[in-house]
Chain A
């Protein structure tokens, strides 16, 4: 089969349209560069009525919003994809497990993410200095701070300046007031000496420019916002870049196979499979910017083998794919008797997700795990959805009355318990280990003939100890809220409730940055040590994750790397 070449030579080819690729698209195109954005999934714009799931009622889904293989977070979730995609397998090694979530669409996972937008703090870039684990980043908070500032102002994030040492202040929009169950959380957490602050999330509680609407509090950010009042890469970066006159060619449904190189080993562009006609194409570019997501970018690099790069592109260190790490996660639900018999006189949807949270408060030098976690809170009188009314009166057991039954009594019990359940989740930092990795599985290809990834990932006791601490904390807070923890506290046999790696969908580290080309894949400007015209702008470059979510840092770093690319092109260094 002949590979079809496009005659255009782009200044930059950007692979992936999520947070990293979207930011690169905006910065590079607004600097006057001609860019191609190559996205493996379809075009998506939540302002188009035919793409909208926002403000739909549960009965508009025949399964009432239940999850499917295509949308594990429910039938109305905006992120098409999941842990299991037809025709695009991945494999596991040595009996270990890593669950890989992909969303193939314009904007990728930013279309449904939780919008929890936390800066990394000074310690997060230099954690090895503090506890000896992992490695320091080659950059510090001061290097990234100006970009966090710019991202705050460009995209919009609500929160509050609290002067916390490792949860830096920023340029925040004002936060929404807490909901009822969140007031209970504040009370319970404080009693447990866990501080609580307004959450920091990228919804517009206030106007930020004339192109985007203001939040109208439907609580459905995971369905993508039709007035662009929350951050997703399409609505906030790529569409504005196009609107601002940028030369942006979108190639959707195009699955990148590899980065192509010339006789000197420099990148010449990418080859991709067009999913619509299943043929292979080539694009030419002066610079290739990979923002396909940590694992997809590693896969593309490892599949880009040539005489000059026999171990895969940028992989002379053999570090591509290594140091894969996800956030840790654990959750506990609770029944709060004081939240029974609620008045349904008001709309409690709020923003999509929590209005309050607890950043990590502990002192790890006195604990048996080196890194912290933050606490997220959920609950409230949400829209009835699939699962509503299941085991409707099981809480009767706490009052010694009969569980089950039929008839109008069930109606009364559904109302009595509506909004009386809430939950607490921890999202924490794991240690990046070389032994946790993805690599090419030589025995398996996807439906496009591209070799797939094989994962090897194990938690260590450091993460298990952290999860144990989190569950102990959950119980204490729940008791201090006057609540009853639901289910059993998971013990050692269940890894203390620690979710399987990949389940928190914060995977980072596969193309980590560093000063030493022998132990890292990119330099501190996210440029491959081995090939100066290839950059990585997704979370692959993270030397270490923090007890924060990764998106705000992906955005800040992609902006920084993109400005560097513009500068290097101007100086004709690449």
Chain B
């Protein structure tokens, strides 16, 4: 009923605004004034609201965000403004939850929605369904930066946290959509490079409402199985919104908490996500992740083939070194011995020299002394006395005959003169007292 009335009330306003408005059922001014028709506030607001909603299609409005608040129920209230005017806006929770981040005040945004009227206050406003920051990926970028800063503050992005991947994993875990291109790419690389490894897949949704939590749970489950040496988490390429789960906190936390190294491979080379930053290694694509986690089997086989000869060389080397070490030892021993023998030998040489020289000197001295003695002996020699004309008489037995009485008459004796001995006989005494 009321609706009909209010519709009547504004009939014709839109159709022909130029026409002189005529009050409904206007009485002639000169006639006595009847009671005017009085509308209730609710009726008017309802009528205005209906008019507004019915006459303006949903539209994009661009402006700056002012006074943004999010109610406890999750609805967002804010204003859009330019230099001259502002427009009240509301973003209901279901749409607000799709925002990667609340815009900051002063941020240039554009909002898509319909104009309506909040009847309780008589204020007109825009019911916003989509809100985008100006410039590509504005709000996504903002949310990314916010989370990145927070994780950075917690030290989760420190290069020092990055663990090296195992060189030869036995089991590779994969968290991704079981039907996506990513798992196909990863498996084909692993099959080509390292068909001996085992792969354990934990499928999950990777986009859409709640995908981040699912990815995080899948990662937790796979890690908790304790079977994987390394885990790849990721998905193929897509829009910013498609990849968004990998920019959300639950995935970041699950990666950080994973007990084995995690390789993040989200989208294409240009897409860098939070999970890339937290992971131990960022692979530009899922295929690249496959390459990163396993060694190349062909190259490894070649390396293995080179090993037995190397082992043999090592063994031969040990033998040779052992032999040369013996030689070397012998040489060293010889040198040591020589060093230890040399000093005494030299001392002996030295002593011998000194001894010889000493002996020679001693001999010389003896020789000098001897010739001196010889001179003195010469002087003392009885022969020298005999030379002067004396003679010595002795019995044939050699006893000296000194006195007259020694010469009994007839006695034979030897008389020693300067150049020989003469045999003589005593004739008689010829006492001569005075001599």
- Do the two chains belong together in a single complex? no
- On A, residues with C-beta under 8 Å from B are none
